[in-house]
Amino acid sequence: MIGKLNHVAIAVPDLDKAVAVYRDALGANVSAATDEPDHGVTVVFVELENTKIELLHPLGDNSPIQPFLDKNPSGGMHHVCYEVPDIMVARDRMQAEGARVLGDGNPKIGAHGKPVLFLHPKDFCGTLVELEQA
Ligand code: CO
């Protein structure tokens, strides 16, 4: 069911430092920082040939990534995002498999303007999984 890896998201405590690591040390193409108030994050996209890395930094007081950074003060891999052809078909299949879909179980519009769902890390090898309709 899952297709391409759309992105890997890394939560970072210091966005400028993270940009310097990816742009200067690793030599990647790095976007300008974009505030996404609806998602409580500031995002920098690292464009790779075959996928993207998203550097996530908390925005506002109730950022969903703040608890993760509290537990992982130097940052870390926050989630992986896989593309699916149909988000509702994917949701129904995940629920039929007994996997926990986070939130109210309905897709939300994600950072790329496409419908997304998040799946509980305990059901997916300890990794938060985002499904995005391609
Ligand atoms: Co994501």
Q: Compute the distance from residue 98 Cα to the ligand 1 centre, in Å.
A: 22
**Residue with the two structure tokens 């703040």:** 66
**What is the rounded (10 degree) CA torsion for 39, 42, 43, 44?**
170
Q: Compute the distance from residue 25 Cα to the ligand 1 centre, in Å.
A: 24
Q: pLDDT tens, 22-38? A: 999 999 999 999 999 98
Q: What are the beta bridge partners of residue 55?
A: 10, 44
All structural domains of the chain with their residue ranges: 7-133
Q: pLDDT tens, 30-85? A: 999 999 998 899 999 999 999 999 999 999 999 999 999 999 999 999 999 999 99
Phi/psi for 86 (5° steps) reads -145, 115
* CATH level 3 topology of 7-133: 2,3-Dihydroxybiphenyl 1,2-Dioxygenase; domain 1 (3.10.180)
Q: Compute the distance from residue 7 Cα to the ligand 1 centre, in Å.
A: 7
Rounded-to-integer distance, Cα 101 and Cα 83, Å: 16
Q: Determine how many CB atoms are found less than 10 A away from the CB of residue 71.
A: 9
Element (H, E) at 94: helix 87-96
Residue 111: pLDDT over 90: no
Q: Compute the distance from residue 27 Cα to the ligand 1 centre, in Å.
A: 22
Q: Can you give the pTM of this predicted structure?
A: 0.93
Residue 49, both tokens: 């040939």
Residue 110: pLDDT over 90: no
Q: Compute the distance from residue 96 Cα to the ligand 1 centre, in Å.
A: 23
Q: Determine how many CB atoms are found less than 10 A away from the CB of residue 63.
A: 18
Q: Which residues are catalytic?
A: 130
